[in-house]
Every structure is written in C-alpha cells, then in structure tokens.
C-alpha cells in the first residue's frame, strides 16, 4: 500500500513539473495584436465546444409565451435533453438564428404521449416553409397513428378521454369569432374546443385524394417535398396523375397546457417526428420576459427564485 502511495505521489510530482515547464516555455504574445489573436482563438474554441454540446447532449431553451402556463412560464430558462430523441450537429448559428444544414443521429426512443417536447416549428397552416427558424415547446398528446378529438374542451385520444395535466388551464371562455376559419386543416370548420376526429399521419399511411379534400392535404404533401397540382380535373403529384398519396414520415400532435391560450397543432398542423429535438428537464433560471434588460433593477427584482430547480413534467 505504501509503495502505491509513493508511486502516486511521484507521478503527480512529475505531472506538475511537466505542466510548469510547458507554461514556462509557452510563447508570450509580443504585442497587443498577438494577444488579441490568442484571446479570439480561445473564445472561438470555447464557442465550438458549446455548439457541439448544445447539439449532442444538453441544450438551453427559453420559454417565449404563456401557451404552457401553469406547467412552465414565459421567461423560464430550461435545460433540454437532446440525446433522448436523437442528438444532431448544430442547427442554427446562435444569436443570428440562421439555420444550418445538420445531421441527425439515432435517438434512444421516440416521443411518447403526454411528454413535453421541444421541436423545430414546422410553419403556420398555409406555409410550406416557416418564415423563420424557431423552437417551440408543447405537450405531445398523440403520436403517429393515433386519432385525436376534442369535445367541449375535453381531449380524447383513440376514443379515450385524457386527463388535463396537473397544472393545465382550461377556462369557460368560448372560442374567439372566426376561430373555425383559422384551424387546421383548412375547410374542416373545427374550433379549438371542438376539434376532429383527425388521424395523426404515420409513415406508410395511404391518403385518398379527391377534389373535395385536396385543400386539406395540399400543404402537407408539399411539406414532404412534393408538388401538387390539378389539371383538367385530374390530381397530379410530382406531375403524375394519382388518386392517393403515401405518407413518408411519422408525426405527432402537440397542444399547449394553457388550452385556451395556445397556438398549437389545432392551428398549424402536425409536427414531424424528425423536428422533435429534445425533452425539457429542469428550470435553471426564470424572470419576467416583459421587462427589458435596460431596466436592470426591475429585471433583478422579477427573478422567480421559487422556479429555479423546478422539474418540468
């Protein structure tokens, strides 16, 4: 035992001496330009490491709206587990919010019913591509192959009523006027309180097309990378006449826990599973997002100490 301790001390001393020699031999900057270059290089290295970790393991997400109010609040800063659904290379340039081509690695599993998910916003109802890159936070209430229905504000999945999340919010207020014209898909006349039934598309599903339902599936098919047109009463997908379309991806359906104050799948449609980037775990910071940083004292006073460390379920 004593011999092992002596060997450990000797190895530690050799390591310290070697480290000291490296520091002594390190070339010091000759001038301010070299010093600045060295500082920028170190900063760039740290930035690259953070971007890699942000894509592969743990990411940070700021809750932008109150659509999940009760469960999480606008202004909550969350740590998000990216490894569980499949890590990826960086998807945006931080601060500039410019999308990057990225590679997605296999995940441990797919999102499950009832989980809160962070995902890349697929775009508003009538958009093939979103106007800007955004991360959203919703609760996955249904997965590919499920049937979703809302009856008088009560959620049903595959015909079984689903309980409201413990901190979820539902009011007695009716939908705003014209709500049936804003919901997804176009032409169905659904409202936020009475919606569906609608099947969440699953890879391999066959959608039968006709001139009556073409409006419902137009954007969906285009989002999967195909062209859709009508010529002489005939439906053409990628220029070929057809009466059906085979779904190429799996999807899920997301709702906000603040059901009457949430823009979610009821309004802009299904979420591709490949857009789901992570599962939020814990609140590490929280303050009022409406107070500008310029009002520093008010901003500090608005810190919600009771939220820090709260688990996200």
At 280-299, the pLDDT tens digits run 999 999 999 999 999 999 99
The whole-number pLDDT of residue 183 equals 97
- Average pLDDT in the 21-29 region? 58
More confident site: 87 or 72: 72
At 51-70, the pLDDT tens digits run 555 555 677 889 999 999 98
The whole-number pLDDT of residue 22 equals 62
Distance CA 69, CA 121 (A): 19
The whole-number pLDDT of residue 3 equals 56
Pairing of β 251-255 and β 271-272: antiparallel
Q: Which of 91-95, 104-108, 193-197 has the highest mean pLDDT?
A: 193-197
Q: In this structure, what are the phi and psi dihedrals at residue 228, rounded to the nearest 5 degrees?
A: -140, 130
Mean of per-residue pLDDT scores for the chain = 87
More confident site: 58 or 29: 58
**pLDDT bracket for residue 2 (50, 70, 90):** low
More confident site: 132 or 258: 258
Give the percent of the chain with pLDDT over 70.
Answer: 79
At 159-218, the pLDDT tens digits run 999 999 999 999 999 999 999 999 999 999 999 999 999 999 999 999 999 999 999 999
Sheet architecture: strand order including 154-157: 160-162, 154-157, 147-151, 195-199
At 125-151, the pLDDT tens digits run 999 999 988 999 999 999 999 999 999
More confident site: 61 or 33: 61
Distance CA 242, CA 230 (A): 10
Please check whether residue 258 is in contact with residue 168, taking contact to mean a CB–CB distance below 8 angstroms: yes
Question: Would the pLDDT of 38 be above 70?
Answer: no
The whole-number pLDDT of residue 145 equals 98
**Residue 308 exposure: Cα atoms within 13 Å on the Cβ side:** 8
The whole-number pLDDT of residue 4 equals 44
Domains of the chain in sequence order:
49-141+251-307 (2.10.109.10), 206-246 (no CATH)
136 DSSP β-pair partners: 119
* pTM value > 0.85: no
Question: Would the pLDDT of 259 be above 90?
Answer: yes
Q: Which two tokens stand for residue 137?
A: 């936070």
């Amino acid at each position: 035992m004593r011999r092992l301790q002596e060997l450990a001390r000797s190895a530690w001393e050799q390591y310290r001496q070697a480290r000291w020699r490296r520091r002594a031999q390190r070339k010091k900057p000759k001038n301010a330009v070299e010093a600045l270059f060295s500082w920028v290089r170190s900063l760039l290295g740290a930035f690259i490491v953070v971007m890699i970790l942000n894509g592969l393991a743990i990411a940070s997400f700021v809750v932008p709206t109150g659509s999940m109010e009760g469960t999480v609040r606008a202004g909550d800063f969350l740590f998000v587990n990216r490894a569980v659904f499949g890590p990826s290379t960086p998807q945006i340039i931080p601060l500039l919010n410019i999308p990057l081509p990225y590679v997605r690695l296999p995940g441990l599993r797919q999102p499950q019913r009832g989980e809160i998910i962070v995902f890349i916003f697929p775009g508003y109802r009538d958009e093939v591509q979103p106007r800007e890159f955004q991360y959203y936070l919703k609760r996955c209430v249904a997965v590919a192959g499920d049937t979703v229905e809302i009856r008088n504000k009560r959620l049903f999945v595959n015909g079984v009523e689903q309980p409201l999340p413990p901190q979820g919010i539902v009011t007695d207020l009716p939908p705003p006027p014209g709500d049936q014209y804003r919901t997804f898909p176009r032409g169905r006349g659904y409202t936020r309180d009475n919606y569906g039934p609608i099947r969440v598309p699953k890879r391999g599903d066959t959608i039968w097309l006709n001139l009556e339902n073409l409006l419902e599936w137009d954007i969906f098919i285009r989002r999967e990378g195909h062209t859709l047109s009508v010529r002489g009463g005939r439906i053409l997908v990628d220029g070929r006449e057809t009466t059906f379309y085979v779904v190429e991806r799996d999807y899920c359906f997301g709702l906000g826990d603040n059901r009457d104050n949430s823009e979610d799948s009821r309004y802009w449609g299904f979420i591709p599973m490949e857009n789901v980037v992570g599962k939020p775990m814990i609140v590490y910071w929280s303050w009022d997002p409406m107070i500008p940083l310029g009002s520093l004292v008010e901003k500090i006073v608005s810190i919600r100490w009771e939220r820090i460390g709260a688990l996200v379920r």
